[in-house]
Chains A and B, each alone.
Chain A
Amino acid sequence: MASNNKKIMGMDQDKFSMFLSKYGITLVLLVMIIIVAIIQPRFIAPANLLNILTQISVNCLLAFGMCLAITTGGIELTVGAQLALVSCILGALASKGGMNIVLACVIAVGVATLFGFINGFLISKFNMFPFVVTLSTQLITRSLAQIISNGQAIPMSIGNFPQVYSGYLGPIPLPIIYMLVVFVVMYILMHQTRFGRYVYAVGGNVNAAIASGVNVFWVRTACYTISGFLAGLAGIIITAKTTSGQSNIGIGYETDAVAACVLGGTSFAGGISTAPGVVIGAIMIGCIYTGMNFLRIGSYYQQLAKGLIIIGAIMLDMAVSKKNR
């Protein structure tokens, strides 16, 4: 590779393709933003950008959990339904039952974490397929939410609970702060701890991980448990946003979480992903939605465009990383 000294944009080809594979998706995102901004300059107004970031916070949290699952070679389809369960538990405990809201939140997040643990346990202990396990728990979780709420929305305008979503820290909306905190923690966890290394090793080559002394069972179980915990947090945020406990929220959210991961360079083959990539992926999904609203593209076309953009981005990524091997 070193012998090939053709220069592209002032870098030799080797360096250029390294650069592309690392930042390619970010470039696509920037190009997207620029195109929309040219047509509708309001798109890049600070207020709108903050708005986009606020809206993606729930998806971003779910995507981090999803990212762990995909990196170990699995998938986590429960996350959307977990939002509904958390929301209904909060509604039943705090709104109907009059429980202290903080305690209710702790319990709700605990239940979501427990479901994550159950997913992980079934997958790693019995070697069941993650797709099947999490699809089943998705049904169970959603059903529990309906049972708890009896299918009805429970109003949740208790005290200043809605402030969890609509509050500000200085000029910054709180959901962005949560996202930032989770990002920092996940970045350290994935890239700077032993646990993170084990996650990548298990996803990269499970036999090599075992032969290197990694406890595959605990690594896998922990990934799904963390995902459950993050879905629990996301559930609180979304409940504060809708100010009601509902069993029908979060439908299809797992799809957006998968999309954010994949756009962010998470490989379905396992063993490859980055924490910043997940955030970029989530921002991209947010921009696609808002950008299309700005361009006055009808909502019926939005899913179509999203699907096409994801396929295109992945093909681009594959072409780049193939060159890099």
Chain B
Amino acid sequence: MKALDNKTQSPSGYVLECHGISKAFGGTQALKDVQLEILPGEVHALLGENGAGKSTLMKIIIGLYKQDEGTIKVNGKPFQARGPVDAINNGISMIHQELNPEPHLTIAEAIFLNRESTKGRWFLDKKAQNERAEAILRKFNFPFPATTVMSKLTLAQMQMIEIIKAVSCDAKIIIMDEPTSSLDSEETDHLFETIRDLKKQGVAIIYISHRMEEIFEICDRTSVFRDGTYVGTKSLEGVTRNELISMMVGRQVDSIFPKVDCEIGKTVFKVEGLTGKGFENISFEVHAGEILGLSGLVGSGRSETMRAIFGLDPLTSGKMYLEGQEIRIKKPRDAIKRGICMVNEDRKGYGLCLQRSLRENISLPNLPDKQPGLVIDQKREKQECEDVARLLTVKAASIEHTGFSLSGGNQQKVVLAKWVMANPKVLILDEPTRGVDVGAKSDIHSLMCKFAANGLAVIMISSELPEVMGMSDRILIYHEGKLNGEIMRKDILSGAVTQKEILAKEFGQ
């Protein structure tokens, strides 16, 4: 039943082969005719910038998505996982970046979840299960007994349990997604030791990471993806970082950006030494009429900084100044009152109450300002909301419809409408065009220019390099929670700074 068995080696020698894989989500082509070939016992790095298609391919391999086209072979035999459990049963395990352990389970229970040792058909055999778990833990020199509860372990140890679990399922391929993102250097070393041991046992590892040093340290070969396409596979011996970064850049610019240069005024908002969870010592200022782009890899601390500025997360230290005055923001209400508004990257989570009407959504943050009376003046409210919806070209039959009835792009415009009505001084846009169709995307870009022309300071986070480069007057680059460079629009226009250099800075060079 096992598709993976050492005795039946593939004639090609590959343990996993993906060929001609394509996948589209709605109108977006996430993967176009990509390939990936993994040798047994190798550590294979997957490289590419945000949205290059790495995770989509991994999710296809473990059966979370189904490809539109293309074939997957495991040990030379066609294989299509029906889901993660099916993938595990066939020797493919994935260690996710966000570990999701059941904190109340013991180590033994976690390892044997869904395949518990039983007495007869119905009854759990805890004793036998604990003994089996102990045996495996001993093999990995794991410093806790099998009866320890998961919540007592550190993140690194939980991750190790995930790896142990994969091995105990006879995994021949282990996919690790950013495995070191929450480990310190000692824990990372320990992880690498384990990876080397696994290699010796013939286990292939697909290693997804943004950290170049690690890739050169632990990986044998790498496959590079760009914009949903396959660029090439290289042995990591004799290749330079620069060559790899060159392979990653060159994402297609799929639209002309409507950026209008407008006069940049005086400093509106300034932060000094902001530190919080996921970012440290961030200082920058943004001017009236300016679009400030924040670029960086996913998880590099861009959104975290902006959430803290807006009062959604706490700051541990740092100062903020609005128009020269020091301000303190404890909760979003403080930020909104002072004219700092934020469009969150998680539109469904933080943007709209989808079951309520567009009118209610648009006026929600503006009620204290626009409707100070005891009873809401519904006629005036309706008029004001209709005006701002028209200004932002929201396409809806009427503003009395619910958020559910709108497309992603129009929902995003409604979120923007909320904040335009608040008449802010600083507008923070976190991934304003993510999951938005091409037409709405270009509308949103035009609106951003209009906001800037009206003297707003706009801060935009985007994981699309062409968007950041096309829309920003100035770009700040994040790397692992710190700022790692600043680029002016004129240097981009003159060609002095290219995508490659920005990407190199994102990777910490």
Q: Are B353 and A200 in contact (CB under 8 A)?
A: yes
Taking the closest CB of chain A, its distance from the CB of B378, in whole angstroms, is 7
- 19 other contacts beyond A197-B367, A200-B360, with CB at 8 A cut-off? A193-B376, A201-B353, A201-B356, A201-B360, A205-B349, A205-B352, A208-B349, A208-B350, A208-B353, A209-B364, A210-B331, A211-B350, A211-B351, A212-B336, A212-B364, A213-B331, A213-B336, A213-B365, A271-B356
A194 at the interface (CB under 8 A from B): yes
Return chain B residues, CB-CB under 8 Å to A188: 375
Give the residues in chain B near A269, CB-CB below 8 Å: 355
| Known A-B contacts A197-B360, A201-B364; A211 and B312 likewise in contact (beta carbons under 8 Å) | yes
Mask for B347-377, Cβ within 8 A of A = 1, else 0?
A: 0011111111000100111011001001110
Distance, CA A208 to CA B349, complexed state (A): 6
Pairwise interchain contact B355-A210, C-beta atoms closer than 8 A: no
Contact of A194 with B371 in the complex, beta carbons under 8 Å: yes
Which A residues lie at the B interface, using CB under 8 A? 2, 188, 192-194, 197, 200-201, 204-205, 207-215, 267, 269, 271-272, 325
Hey, which chain A residues are within 8 Å of B337, CB to CB? Answer: 213
Q: How far is the CA of A212 from the CA of B360 in the complex (A)?
A: 12
Q: How far is the CA of A192 from the CA of B352 in the complex (A)?
A: 20
CB of A300, distance to nearest CB on chain B (Å): 39
Q: Which residues of B are interface residues toward A (Cβ below 8 A)?
A: 310, 312, 331-333, 335-337, 342, 344, 349-356, 360, 363-365, 367-368, 371, 374-376, 378, 397, 402, 404-405, 418
- For A211, give its contact among B344, B360, B378 (CB under 8 Å): B344
A215 to B374, CA, bound (A): 18
Give min CB distance, B74 to chain A, whole Å: 40
List 8 tightest A-B contacts by C-beta distance, closest first.
A204-B353, A213-B333, A212-B365, A205-B353, A213-B336, A194-B367, A211-B350, A212-B364
How far, in Å, is B425 (CB) from chain A's closest CB? Answer: 16
Report which of B331, B332, B364, B405 forms a contact with A325, defined as CB distance below 8 A: B405
Q: Are A210 and B332 in contact (CB under 8 A)?
A: yes
Given that A208-B351, A211-B332, A213-B336 are known contacts, is A197 also in contact with B376, CB under 8 Å in the complex?
Answer: yes
Cβ-defined partner of B368 (8 Å) among A192, A194, A325: A194
- B432: shortest Cβ distance to chain A, in Å? 15
Contact A192 B312 (CB under 8 A): no
- Are A214 and B355 in touch, CB under 8 angstroms? no
Can you list 13 contacts pairing A with B, beta carbon distance less than 8 Å? A192-B376, A192-B378, A194-B376, A197-B360, A197-B376, A200-B353, A204-B353, A205-B353, A207-B350, A209-B364, A211-B332, A213-B336, A213-B368
Could you say which of B310, B342, B364, B378 has the most chain A C-beta atoms within 10 Å of its C-beta? B364
Is B375's CB under 8 angstroms from A207's CB? no
A225 to B195 CA separation, bound complex (whole angstroms): 58
Residues of A within 8 A of B331 (CB): 210, 213
Contacts of B352 in A (CB 8 A): 205, 208
User: Which of B331, B350, B353, B354 has most A Cβ within 10 Å?
Assistant: B353
Contact B374 A193 (CB under 8 A): yes
Complex formed: what's the CA distance from A212 to B356 in Å?
14
User: CA–CA, A22 to B354, complex, Å?
Assistant: 17
Are A193 and B363 touching (Cβ within 8 A)?
no
CB atoms of A197 and B364 under 8 A apart? yes
Bound-state Cα–Cα, A102 to B231, Å: 84
In the complex, the answer to whether A192 meets B375 with C-beta atoms within 8 Å is yes
Q: Bound complex: CA of A269 vs CA of B310, how far in Å?
A: 28
Closest to B363 in A: A197
- A214→B363 CA distance, assembly (Å): 12
Q: How far is the CB of B373 from chain A (nearest CB, A)?
A: 9
CB distance from B313 to the nearest CB of A (A): 11
A271 with B355: in contact, given A213-B332, A213-B365 (CB under 8 Å)? yes
Q: How far is the CA of A201 from the CA of B364 in the complex (A)?
A: 8
CB closest chain-A residue, reference B342: A211
Instruction: Specify which chain A residues have a CB less than 8 angstroms from the CB of B402 in the assembled complex.
Output: 325
Tell me the complex Cα distance, A211–B347, Å: 11
Residues of B within 8 A of A209 (CB): 353, 364
> A272 near B355 (CB under 8 angstroms)?
yes
B405 contacts A204, C-beta separation under 8 Å = no
A194-B368, A214-B364 are known contacts. Are A271 and B342 too (CB-CB below 8 A)? no
Which of B332, B356, B368 is close to A200, meaning CB atoms less than 8 Å apart?
B356
Cα distance A214–B356 in the bound complex, in angstroms: 16
Q: Which residues of A contact B376 (CB under 8 A)?
A: 192-194, 197
Q: What is the CB-to-nearest-CB distance from B148 to chain A, in angstroms, rounded to a whole number?
A: 28
Give the CA-CA distance A213 to B333 in the complex, in Å.
Answer: 4
* Residue in A188, A194, A209, A212 whose Cβ sees the most chain B Cβ within 10 Å: A212
Separation of A34 and B376 alpha carbons in the complex (Å): 38
CB distance from B395 to the nearest CB of A (A): 13
Closest to A269 in B: B355
* Nearest chain B CB to A218 CB, angstrom units: 11
B355 cross-chain contacts in A, Cβ below 8 A: 204, 267, 269, 271-272
Tell me how far the C-beta of A26 lies from the nearest C-beta in chain B, rounded to whole angstroms.
20
Q: How far is the CA of A271 from the CA of B350 in the complex (A)?
A: 15
Please state if A212 and B378 are interface contacts (CB–CB under 8 Å): no
The smallest C-beta distance from A4 to any residue of chain B, in angstroms, reads 14
A271 touching B353, Cβ below 8 Å: yes
B349 pairs with A207, CB closer than 8 A: yes
Least CB separation from B375: chain A residue: A192
Contact (Cβ within 8 A) A193 B349: no
Please give, as numbers and ranges, the residues of chain A lying within 8 Å of B365 by CB-CB distance.
212-213
Q: B residues within 8 A CB of A272?
A: 355
A224 to chain B, nearest CB (A): 21
Nearest chain-A residue to B310 (Cβ)?
A211
Give Cα A124 to B301, complex, Å: 30
Find chain A residues with CB under 8 A from B368 CB.
Answer: 194, 213
Give chain A residues whose Cβ lies under 8 Å from the Cβ of B332.
210-213
Q: Which of A192, A193, A211, A267 gathers most chain B CB within 10 Å?
A: A211
- Tell whether A193 pairs with B356 under 8 Å between CB atoms, given A211-B344, A211-B350, A214-B364: no
Given the complex, which residues of B lie within 8 Å of A271, measured CB to CB?
A: 353, 355-356
